[in-house]
Amino acid sequence: MSEESARQMTWHKHGIRYPDADKKKKMKHPADGQAWKHFDSTYPNQAKDARNVRIAIATDGFNPFGMSARSYSCWPVFVIPLNLPPGVLMQRKNIFLTLVIPGPDYPGKNLSVYMQPLIDDLHHSWENGTWTYDRASKKNFLMKVWFQYSMHDLPGYALFCGHCTAGKMPCPVCRHALKFIWLKKGGKYSAFDKHRQFLEAGHRFREDKKNFTKDTVVTEVNTVPTFDGATVVRELHALKTSPTGGFVGYGETHNWTHVAGLTQLPYYKDLKLPHNIDVMHTEKNVGESVFNTVLNIPEKTKDNVKARVDQEMLCDRKKLNMKPPQHNRKNWVKPKADFCLDGAQKKEAFSWLKHVVRFPDGYASNISNGVNLSTGKVTGLKSHDYHIWIERLMPVMLRGYLPDRVWRPLAELSHFFRTLCAKEICEDMMKKLCEKVPELLCKLEIIFPPGFFTPMVHLILHLAYEVAANGGQEIPRIQVWQAAHKKKELVEGKVVYYGNTEESVDSYKKAFKSLHGEDSDPLSEPFDEMAVMISGHGKPHGRISILNEALFAALAAGGPPPQYVEPPVIPPLPKMPTKAEFLAQFHGGTPGSSTHSNNPFGRAAASSPYASPAERTPLHFGGPSPGHSAGVSPRRESLMMLSKVIQDDLLILSLDYVWMLLSSWHVVYDR
């Protein structure tokens, strides 16, 4: 670690936070959140030294073969040190590959087995610590490392905490406090009409018997559940093992599948938020559902025939019920909903996306490439595309097409995600979002059918609290690794080799000064003895992959980096005459003159090609060469001289000799 990085590791405690224009404090780092402060107050001795490291663990399963027919699930696990400043916290060089859970099968409950080496290291770092050299203070200190929280999508959340995210209790935060309803026609569980209980007492939605479940009034007042380490440990200790495997009451009173390995940590019970919902994946799934439903994308919309049938059984929305066959009509008819665009509006919206919308370079991908006006579909949208659409484009794109009672809740949803994903968030604003999010979900329940409210949509309820507890939304983009690891053989080994090589090259590059005079990192500082130790005049040459392999091999060998050695000075070759000089000296005149045919090249017999350029006998121009035989053509004499050179083991031909040989064959090139 360089001295610059060592100083940055204490930013979380000594870094400067600037308030906004209203003198309100902004949260921009995990240290500003309540979870970090709660741990500091619980363990003041560990928090006293700012050099102690808190880490986040992130994982995400992916198929390294892309969309091919081969089924494969590989799970790289990353560790992110949270001490660093916000500007460098989520840079690629500060996300370290710790282990790889091999495929091809889904790890399931075995995740804790694969994670055990990392858990053992965390145990040792917490109990004993590790003696570490601090380059900033030039002293050794006993560094302790502990787990702060983890970040993953919903399937990864289920593996890390040991709670199944399927069935009637799929939410790992609410757990048994909220049970989803079963949609008979849709064949899935839904969170429809499960959020009125979190509204304030006396709210008008509590008495609504039409837009929610028929003839149902909600009187109970509950607070939004949270996920903390103490509650999880208490629930796990209360479980009883079933003789057939698993725990007694699974699927009825709880959804716990196994005891996660991270719960073995002695401080797990004191973590206020050990696991986080991935805002990026949640936003992508919610944006995709809204996009496909509002634009009525075939086979992807949540407003299908099955959803209308379930809606008729649960709600009193007669205008949206399926119309049976009558008179000359033989088929059932699905009435148009006011939250869907008609054909003409849909065509205008797609034309706007294709021909009007433009983004600055690097802001977003070209969404227009996926718009197909003839089929009325949009393909190829990624997570970042839905992030841009739901936060920036959706309110503008849908305004004027949808009625005000539909457009306003969607605009509130857009503002909700835009506030969560800001680089700096206001604590007062997050408190208001926590209070307003149950009402926002109830407004969406009035608009969309019950089949729309999947577990991913329900997770909106917990996002505001978790972002406020963690001091801001900082999510690593693990997808950059997926593109780099699409190899067809030995996937796990190549992932590890790629990660080790990249990390080694990054650490090695810190020891070199920038070739542009200033380091690209705005927080950089001048280098000290490390730069002096390996300073030199070399610069990269050749393919970058060869350079990376060389740097990695040198670092893996151990010891100090090799000193730079100046290459030997090669004496310059004799100056080659131009064509005009050659004709004037070799032929003694222009071609066709009397001296043209009898002027072959010549060299003294004592001249040696091994001699230095100053010691060699110069070329003889302007007359017969020494030892020239009468009646022998210049070409024949050239071949004879070349044979003589080879026979005498004179294998080094000087440039002037080759030039004369070619000239005798009348192969003369302009310089």
User: What is this structure's pTM?
Assistant: 0.72
Helix H or strand E encompassing 426: strand 425-426
For residue 456, give the nearest of 213, 206, 171 by alpha carbon. Answer: 171
Helix H or strand E encompassing 291: helix 279-294
Q: What does the pLDDT look like over 455-486, one tens digit per residue?
A: 999 999 999 999 988 887 654 444 444 444 44
Is the separation of the CB atoms in 45 and 267 below 8 Å?
Answer: no
Sequence-distant (6+) residues with CB within 8 A of 58 are 77, 78, 80, 95, 150, 151, 152, 476, 478
Instruction: Tell me the residue length of the chain.
Output: 671
For residue 444, give the nearest of 405, 394, 415 by alpha carbon. Answer: 405
Q: Which residues of 489-512 are buried (b: 16+ CB within 10 A; e: fewer)?
A: eebbebbbeebebbbbbeebebeb
3-state secondary structure of 136: coil
Distance, CA of 196 to CA of 207 (rounded, Å): 10
Tokens (6 digits) for 125 = 């770092």
Q: What does the pLDDT look like over 609-646, one tens digit per residue?
A: 444 444 444 444 344 445 455 555 555 565 566 555 44
Instruction: Collect the ranges in the chain with pLDDT lower than 70.
Output: 1, 21, 66-70, 473-500, 503-580, 582-671
Determine the pLDDT at residue 109.
81
Number of neighbouring beta carbons within 10 Å of residue 206: 19
3-state secondary structure of 96: strand
Determine the pLDDT at residue 602.
41
